Amino acid sequence: MTPEDFITYLRHEKRASENTITAYSTDLLQFSAFCAGRFDLANISNAQTIMVREWLAQLKSDGTDNRSINRKLSSLRSFYKYCQRLDASVSNPATGVSALKTKKRTALFVPESDMAKHSLATPDDFIALRNLLIVELLYQTGMRRAELRSLSPEKFDFNRLSVKITGKGNKQRLVPLTPSIAELVSFYIKEKEARFPGNPYFLVSKAGKPISFTTIHNTVSQELGGITTLDKRSPHVLRHTFATHLLNNGAPLMAVKELLGHTSLAATQVYTHNSIAQLKKIHQQAHPKG
């Protein structure tokens, strides 16, 4: 039982995303290197709790933030649970190690008044059209950057006004499309086909190759820079914006959970602080003693 076996399991049985696989690989390789250098331990399946504690202490000493340390601890716990499924005699040295305290993160979002400034007017330039589509799809569907990049034209159903999104763990979900975004997608696909006949990809570069993660991020940052003063302008901020705006306008939490593709309601509840703030404002304005 090695980290390599675990990664193979994640990739082929759990069908984890490449980002998840990369994170687990990095964490387990770091711990393996630490154990080999500090304790002369060749296989971390035989690691002890003291080794985990010393590794985390070393990470803290090196300046690693608590949130990253907790993620690495979670990686270890997952690895040892996998080992225990294969061999019940294997102990989990990460079980007795407590996670570090972290500050509660606030989900940044673009105000509705700012998003209203993002024009849906169809540009003449193909790349400008693609960039407009990137921002609007992220905002109107709440999909992740990786989910957007992996989209193919056949995932759109223009009759039912929906898009099939493949999320984490290869799980699929249907998300509705507004008529305006559906029309924009349809127009873009026709323009792309005219320039790159038979091209199977959805979002493409000037050369017709699949768009990169960096291009998606830079496009969002540039497009949002023209409509908001928010310092952080990323694809994930648009996902936060999607969820927050839905909740602020009365959408049920469970519905937002399904649209985001969350497996746990707790993951969706990070956005409720914003809707609570909106409710407080409404309460103050409407209540006789507000």
User: Catalytic amino acids?
Assistant: 144, 168, 236, 239, 262, 271
Burial class (CB in 10 A: 0-12, 13-18, 19+), 173: middle
CA dihedral 18, 23, 24, 28 (to 10 degrees): 140
| CA–CA separation, 75 and 94 (whole Å) | 9
| CA–CA separation, 89 and 76 (whole Å) | 17
| CA–CA separation, 172 and 118 (whole Å) | 29
| CA–CA separation, 290 and 274 (whole Å) | 19
